[in-house]
Structure 1
Amino acid sequence: MPSFDIVSKTDKAEVDNAVAGVVRELGQRFDFKGAKCTIEHKDDVITIVADDAPKLSQMQEMLKVHLTRRKLDVGCLDWGDDQRAAGDARRQEVKVKQGIDKELAKTIVKAIKDSKMKVQAAIQGDELRVTGKKIDDLQDAIRLVKGLKIEQPLQYENFRD
């Protein structure tokens, strides 16, 4: 029976490359000379430390630009609240989303079931498997899921006949 998987994966190497690009740009920009601004990536968490709120927002924009240059969707980031660090400094933790969480998976499954398509969707860990009798039905299911307003980037892979 034909099937495909809906997954949400973010390439960690490309995220590392984007963070390295931001670090290089911090070293070259005149407005960041003498500033104690840092950004680092460890275990799916990017930590941004800036001298003040305007520099923090500039660093966020630089990260978005470098991720886009690396062909990554900015929706893969979960922006945490910025916190006060020492003095006026600001710290923000940004989580890189991996996998589909339970709430989003339930939303997608419910949308597929409500559409009355002749496909079945099953949650398998942090991904979804959609099966049906006809390939056309599966392609309609992909169009339906793409039409939903989902912030997180999704990939459709493992399409089997």
Structure 2
Amino acid sequence: MASESSFDVVSKVDRQEVANAVNQAAKEINTRFDFRNVGASVELNGDSLTLKASSEERCLAVLDVLQTKLVKRGVSLKSVDFGEEATPKASGKEYRLDGVLKEGLSQETAKKIAKQIRDEFGKSVKPVIQGDELRVSSKSRDDLQAVQRALKANEDIDAALQFTNYR
């Protein structure tokens, strides 16, 4: 048996699930009566999402449809960033709302997670930042599972977390 166990904390987005959610949202927008003749649409281009409608309220309704589809497909809403308030901006005769898919842990988020792990578990668990992910290692697998539970319970982390490479 290995003397030390570890796992990686990452923030990745399943792009196929996001594309499926966007396609489902576009289908629903095209068939719903309340979206007729308002120019409502949702598009995915690479890492960016664009929502359009003729009024601010309809644009927010498109956002609600998209968020519902993302949740049903198992994509965390923390992985899509529409800005602070998510308010549509007027662009000519239409309102637009632009969002970005967030992947990878930022340095400040990784430092925040590492500090939380060190504060709660002391020296029995060692977090190490490796680029856009965080490796957590310990001699006890029970400690590692406790770290996972603690990170899942923390609502202050502004990233969709996944745990990979559990060894």
Look up the match of 1:109. Answer: 114
Where has structure 1 moved over 2 Å in runs of 4 or more? Answer: none
Look up the match of 2:24. Answer: 21
Residues 44-97 of structure 1: CA distance to partner in whole angstroms, max 9, x if unpaired?
A: 11011111111011001000111112122222111135321013x211111111
How many residue pairs match? The answer is 159
What percentage of aligned pairs have identical amino acids? 36
TM-score by length of 2: 0.89
Q: Contact 1:117/1:141 (CA < 8 Å) preserved in 2?
A: no
Match runs of 1:25-44 below 5 Å: 25-44=28-47
Q: Secondary structure in 1 aligned to 2:166?
A: strand
| Shift in Å, 1:106 | 0.6
Which of 120, 123, 136 pairs up with 2:126? Answer: 120
Match runs of 1:22-101 below 5 Å: 22-80=25-83, 81=86, 82-87=88-93, 89-101=94-106
| RMSD value, Cα | 1.3
Q: State the alpha-carbon separation in 1 of the partners of residues 110 and 126 from structure 2.
A: 13
TM-score by length of 1: 0.92
Q: Secondary structure in 2 aligned to 1:159?
A: coil
Look up the match of 1:156. Answer: 163
Q: Contact 1:83/1:92 (CA < 8 Å) preserved in 2?
A: yes
Q: What code does the residue aligned with 1:156 have?
A: F
| Shift in Å, 1:26 | 1.4
Gaps of 5+ in 1: none
Gaps of 5+ in 2: none
